[in-house]
Amino acid sequence: MKETVIIGMSGGVDSAVAASVLKDQGHNVEAVFMKNWDEDDTEFCTAAQDYKDALQACDTLNIPLRSVDLTKDYWEKVFKIFLEECKAGRTPNPDILCNKEIKFKAFLDFAFELGANKIATGHYSMIVEKDQLYQLKKGKDINKDQSYFLHRLDQFQISKSIFPIGDLSKDIVRKKAKDLDLLNYDKKDSTGICFIGERNYKNFLRKFFDVYPGEIIKENGEVIGEHDGLMYYTYGQRQGLGVGGGHGKKEAPWYVSDKIIDENRLVVVQGQDHPSLYHTHVKASNVNWISGDAPNEDFGITAKIRYRSNDTPCKLEHDSKNTFIEFENPKFAIAPGQSIVFYAGDTCIGGGYIETRSNKNIS
């Protein structure tokens, strides 16, 4: 008996080709377009065009397409948390929460109501079952690997999911799409935060809360400028500080090294090699272990402190609430609010939210 697999069809090339792979594998394939953001501003919100692209792909592949409105779920479970994190001066990553709460929870539940055996998406990752446990593997195309964004999934969510293009490169995916006469074969990949798109980040956030400018200071407390609001800056940021020459002893760019939240002050240092930008110890909260259990030993474990960072060897310690990470070498621009994600080789084993960073043991 054929399995019914319902794929989340985004309008992009990845989900379209993933659907074609599922058909080639003999599955009974249906598609759902998720509406996660409610906005009429067509200059920045691409939902209408994305739906047209999804419809064209489904017509070409002879797959039925439904649409589901998940905007309420997204607002309550993703966007409100994003705003709260921004207000707290942290650096949130809403795409990770979207995967946990929307694509692999709300959409998964909807697909089951429609009679699906499993769901599928166009993520560049792979799933392997070993010793009665489901493992999340890096995608074959290391430049497109998206396991970082999937680290909050649990055994049930992974067991009910398929990533059909996880073993393909992006070039092959685009070639397959062109061969299938899919009009989105050369569609630009979406980048950045989905609900902000190409618009100005500062202008977008101003619609949702008041912004309080404050002082930009050097480490010694000297005031050298004014920031637009702490929420607009992240650790290690170089661009957009408005701090030029004349404040330092050398010709080198300035970087955000810290935020003093209770004083509304932004601390900057000069030069990418400044020691204040590097830390060896991290405290992470709300850690999710994909297997259900923390690793028994940390030998060979690596971590990413952001999506595009390198896997770095580390040691782990745990208490009842937090995980404490020690890196062999200091890491640049560790940002509270971002996710730290752990790997054992090419297997993503879990991750949590960065709370604090230091250059001494904080456990």
45 is catalytic: no
45, 86, 98, 348: which one is catalytic? 98
**Using one digit for the tens of pLDDT, what is the confidence trace for 50-89?**
899 999 999 999 999 999 999 999 999 999 999 999 989 9
122 burial level (CB within 10 Å; 0-12, 13-18, 19+): buried
Q: What is the pLDDT of residue 193?
A: 64
45, 58, 86, 194: which one is catalytic? 194
Q: Would 210-270 and 276-358 be classified into the same CATH topology?
A: no
How is domain 4-179 classified at the architecture level of CATH? Answer: 3-Layer(aba) Sandwich (3.40)
Burial track 250-282 (b if 16+ CB lie within 10 A, e otherwise): eeeebbbbbbeeeeebbbbbbeeeeeebbbbbb
**Fold of the CATH domain 210-270:** SH3 type barrels. (2.30.30)
Q: Which token pair is 339?
A: 């996710």
- Around Cβ 332, how many Cβ atoms within 10 Å? 15
Average pLDDT over residues 325-334: 95
**Using one digit for the tens of pLDDT, what is the confidence trace for 265-313?**
999 999 999 999 999 999 999 999 999 999 887 779 999 999 999 999 9
**Fold of the CATH domain 276-358:** Elongation Factor Tu (Ef-tu); domain 3 (2.40.30)
Q: Are strands 301-304 and 278-289 parallel, antiparallel or unpaired?
A: unpaired
170 burial level (CB within 10 Å; 0-12, 13-18, 19+): middle
CA–CA separation, 356 and 351 (whole Å):
15
98 is catalytic: yes
Q: Is the pLDDT of residue 354 over 80?
A: yes
pTM value?
A: 0.93
pLDDT category at 42 given cuts 50, 70, 90 is: very low
| 22 phi and psi angles, rounded to 5 deg | -60, -40
Average pLDDT over residues 202-209: 83
Alpha-helical (H) ranges within the chain are 13-24, 47-61, 71-74, 80-87, 94-98, 107-113, 155-159, 170-179, 201-206
Domain residue spans in the chain?
Answer: 4-179, 210-270, 276-358
